[in-house]
Amino acid sequence: MQAIQPITAHNLRDLRAVCGNCSMRELCLPVGLDQQEIATLDSLISSRRRLQRGEALYRTGDVFTSLYAVRRGFLKTYVLHEDGREQVTGFQMTGEILGMDAISTDRHACDALALEDTEVCEVPFDALERLSGTIPTLQRHFHKTLSREIVRDQGLMLLLGSMRAEERLAAFLLNLSQRLSDRGYSRSEFHLRMTREDIGSYLGMKLETVSRTLSRFQDEGLLAVQGKAIQLLDLERLRTLTSCR
């Protein structure tokens, strides 16, 4: 078993190969830092935390102190409606950032749960803010990270507001595929870490509809599905599904 290295701004360069064009790199590896700045960054993000599958990273109402960058693993974030309904707001994989919604109120606005064994780096927000005041490049990258989250949410609003079940699911699978391939994994074969219910909640449909739509996609030769194992067989046709109507 391999020893886990502490995360530093230095060895984050290695992560880069794994995460590709991800928020982690954007946040932690702004270009043009000098040695001292990198050292300061190192001290900022040296703290880690491990989660077992099913364990919460934080819960709604918890006091906000830190952002988290996923080092490995997979999480979901969700908000609870008063009557118990659950809306999944996102799935996070290696290199992505959690907790940005908490800045506004100093308390977390959603729950974050590990869907498999997961390791995150903790980024104390006070320190990040102080540091970004002195390193303009870091500040810029942090702002872009926040803004990217806004754009992501708006994309999801478009999906929820104006697509039908088939289009939503196709868009979802293609998005997963893209993010996995960015990280060096296969773009066409992967394991879903979440349940049909999680997918349904994220996409605004019932788990039965998710299941039926997957079966239909399979019948039409778009993909092969067995439980959580997915193989995308016709990326091109999936793509046309998301844009035509």
Partner DNA sequence: CGGAGAGTTGAGAAACCTCAAAGCAGGTGG
Partner DNA sequence: CCACCTGCTTTGAGGTTTCTCAACTCTCCG
Beta-carbon contacts of 9 under 8 Å, excluding residues fewer than 6 positions away, are 28, 29, 33, 38, 39, 41, 42, 45
Considering the rule CB under 7 A, would residue 204 count as an interface residue with DNA? yes
Considering the rule CB under 7 A, would residue 181 count as an interface residue with DNA? no
Binding residue (CB under 7 A) for DNA from 228, 231, 239, 240: 228
- The item of DNA, a copy of itself, none sharing an interface with residue 11, based on CB under 5 to 8 Å by kind, is none
Three-state secondary-structure class, residue 11: coil
- The item of a copy of itself, DNA, none sharing an interface with residue 215, based on CB under 5 to 8 Å by kind, is DNA
| Nearest-approach distance from CB 8 to DNA, in angstroms | 33
Q: Which of 206, 233, 239, 207 is nearest to 220 (CA)?
A: 233
Write the binding mask 159 to 178 for a copy of itself: x where contact by CB under 8 A, - elsewhere. Answer: -xxx----------------
Cα end-to-end distance, the chain, whole Å = 50
Q: Which of 121, 86, 98 is nearest to 194 (CA)?
A: 86
136 alpha carbon, distance to own chain's centre: 25
In single-letter form, the type of residue at position 242 comes to T
Binding site for DNA (CB under 7 A): 164-166, 192, 195-197, 204-212, 214-215, 225-228
Binding site for a copy of itself (CB under 8 A): 79, 81-83, 85-87, 89, 100-105, 109-110, 129-130, 132-134, 136, 139-140, 143-151, 153-158, 160-162, 201-204, 243-245
